[in-house]
């Protein structure tokens, strides 16, 4: 037909979902075109999400740890922050290395990258419009939609660069004196942690009655306690009722349980109230792909949409909007197209908030068990009894395991504390392998490590614990 390029697999979007699908399909011998509107590959996660946020959170951790060593006899003084260097380290040494690496990997695999914004024109063709207006028509036998998501805007917020989404906050234009974070979810608390460490007075407003509503409250408590100490304020059960941009600041009114009575003035506002999928901006209707009213695309266990040769993966297919879910789905879609008999069968997907302390959870939560009336057993090991936690002066943690009451198998886990995200992996594996409390309690863990707390929690449940500390 009228195609400029043809391929067996067209992947729309080059985030963790898209690049993984493209690379896997190419490795399986398929001819692949990868379409991306931005100049670098990697999507939200590598360019303006997971990776730059973790770089800045590392900086934050170095600063706060240095601040808190005074009572063991060390003091470093106030940090001297060179924002230009910090930004350039994040952009060039971290993000740039990864996105550049992706471009090389695409080339090495023979994946053709077509730059521009893609809009389906039919079930077998997409038109890609480059920045200079040039249109490339890509014909395909199969497609994988991995167009991701974007930040939800605050309804009625004025158009002002001081009212930012996560991308604006990661750009780190300056260190504001006073900043309001709207939304006490993962993005709000991670970015709040960064700005607090850099010296900003941070306030968080959350309309639900607690921070990170999806996690168990016992995990949130140590984080909230620490944030209440460091931040200017944490206002739960409270809403922003108006936002006004004036020359000298953003004026904000609140209503609700913890609302300040007077109008507050902030130098910057971060809006982090969730993300919405990009399903409505890709011409899906021309390909016959069904998109719901919010922009999500429904798929089956093989990641197939209602159109049998068109697949969808990642944030655009629904919650949880996490990079490791997208990459896992990506492999399934590519393998199904290559003729493998596979499905998405992961039993659990871990969640981690890289705050200080970190919060990590997987599988059934206690709250869920309660609301669904599921009988469970649980064991929670307090880090105040861990020699390692004491020796690094971070005892405000806990490792909790949730067991099936009958089989004693691990069906959920929650960890709060430094490095909780790394520690969770053992529990995720335990759930996937059907391990029970014996399996974890009888596995010798190195001493003294924080990973021992997983073993200690299992021993607590078994009643065999003797070796506290």
Radius of gyration (Cα) for the chain, nearest Å? 24
Which of ligand NAI, ligand FAD, none does residue 455 bind to, with CB < 5 to 8 Å depending on kind? none
Respond yes or no: is residue 447 known to be catalytic: yes
Lookup: tokens for 31: 């001819």
Please provide residue 140's backbone torsions phi and psi, each rounded to the nearest 5 degrees: -140, 155
User: What count of other Cβ atoms lies within 10 Å of the Cβ of residue 313?
Assistant: 33
- Residue 189 CB, nearest approach to ligand NAI (Å): 8
* Spatial contact of 214 and 237, defined as CB atoms under 8 Å apart: no
Strand partners, 244: 251
Stretch that binds ligand FAD, among 26-34, 44-52, 239-247, 358-366 (CB under 6 A): 44-52
Instruction: Indicate the length of the chain as a whole number.
Output: 469
- Residue 449 CB, nearest approach to ligand NAI (Å): 23
Stretch that binds ligand FAD, among 10-18, 225-233, 411-419, 441-449 (CB under 6 A): 10-18
Number of helices and strands (H, E) in the chain? 15, 22
Binding site for ligand NAI (CB under 6 A): 182-188, 190, 205-208, 213, 239-240, 272-275, 320-322, 352-354
Taking each helix axis as running N to C, give the angle between helix 452-462 and helix 420-433, from 0 to 180 degrees, rounded to the nearest 10. 50
Residue placing its CB nearer to ligand FAD in the complex, 237 or 281 = 281
* Spatial contact of 238 and 206, defined as CB atoms under 8 Å apart: yes
Q: Does 35 bind ligand FAD (CB under 6 A)?
A: yes
Sketch the per residue contact string, 247 through 286, with ligand FAD: x for CB under 6 A, - otherwise: -------------------------------x--xx----
Which of ligand FAD, ligand NAI, none does residue 273 bind to, with CB < 5 to 8 Å depending on kind? ligand NAI
Which of ligand FAD, ligand NAI, none does residue 213 bind to, with CB < 5 to 8 Å depending on kind? ligand NAI
Catalytic residue, chosen from 309, 340, 438, 447, is: 447
Q: Coil, strand, or helix at residue 351?
A: strand
* Spatial contact of 332 and 303, defined as CB atoms under 8 Å apart: yes
* Spatial contact of 284 and 265, defined as CB atoms under 8 Å apart: no
* Catalytic annotation, residues: 447
Residues that bind ligand FAD (CB under 6 A): 12-18, 35-38, 43-45, 49-50, 53, 117-118, 146-149, 166, 187, 278, 281-282, 314-316, 321-324, 326, 354
């Amino acid at each position: 037909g009228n195609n400029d390029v043809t391929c067996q697999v067209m992947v729309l979007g080059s985030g963790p979902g898209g690049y993984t699908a493209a690379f896997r399909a190419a490795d399986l011998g398929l001819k692949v075109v990868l379409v991306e509107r931005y100049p670098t590959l990697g999507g939200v996660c590598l360019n303006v999400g997971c990776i730059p946020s973790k770089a800045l959170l590392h900086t934050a951790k170095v600063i706060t740890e240095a601040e808190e060593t005074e009572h063991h006899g060390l003091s470093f003084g106030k940090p001297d922050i060179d924002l230009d260097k910090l930004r350039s380290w994040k952009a060039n040494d971290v993000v740039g290395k990864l996105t550049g690496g992706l471009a090389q990997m695409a080339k090495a695999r023979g994946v053709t990258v077509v730059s521009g914004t893609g809009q389906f024109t039919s079930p077998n063709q997409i038109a890609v419009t480059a920045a200079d207006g040039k249109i490339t028509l890509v014909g395909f036998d199969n497609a994988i939609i991995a167009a991701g998501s974007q930040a939800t805007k605050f309804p009625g917020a004025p158009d002002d660069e001081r009212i930012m989404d996560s991308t604006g906050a990661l750009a780190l234009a300056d260190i504001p004196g006073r900043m309001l974070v709207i939304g006490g979810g993962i993005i709000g608390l991670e970015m709040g942690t960064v700005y607090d460490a850099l010296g900003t007075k941070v306030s968080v407003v959350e309309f639900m009655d607690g921070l990170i509503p999806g996690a168990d409250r016992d995990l949130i408590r140590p984080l909230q306690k620490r944030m209440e100490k460091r931040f200017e304020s944490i206002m739960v059960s409270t809403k922003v009722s108006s936002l006004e941009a004036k020359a000298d600041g953003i004026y904000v009114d609140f209503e609700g349980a913890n609302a300040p009575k007077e109008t507050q003035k902030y130098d910057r506002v971060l809006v982090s109230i969730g993300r919405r999928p990009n399903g409505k901006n890709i011409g899906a209707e021309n390909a016959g792909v069904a998109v719901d009213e919010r922009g999500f695309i429904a798929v089956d266990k093989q990641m197939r949409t209602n159109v049998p040769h068109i697949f969808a993966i990642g944030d655009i297919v629904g919650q949880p909007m996490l990079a490791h879910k997208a990459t896992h789905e990506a492999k399934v879609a590519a393998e199904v197209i290559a003729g493998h008999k596979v499905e998405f069968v992961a039993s659990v997907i871990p969640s981690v908030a890289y705050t200080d302390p970190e919060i990590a959870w997987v599988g059934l939560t206690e709250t869920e068990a309660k609301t669904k009336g599921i009988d469970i057993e649980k064991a929670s090991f307090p880090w105040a009894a861990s020699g390692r936690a004491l020796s690094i002066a971070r005892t405000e943690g806990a490792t909790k395991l949730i067991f099936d009451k009958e089989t004693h198998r691990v069906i959920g886990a929650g960890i709060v504390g430094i490095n909780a995200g790394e520690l969770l992996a053992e529990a995720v594996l335990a759930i996937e392998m059907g391990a029970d409390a014996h399996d974890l309690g009888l596995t010798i863990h190195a001493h003294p490590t924080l990973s021992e707390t997983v073993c200690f929690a299992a021993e607590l449940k078994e009643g065999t614990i003797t070796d506290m500390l």
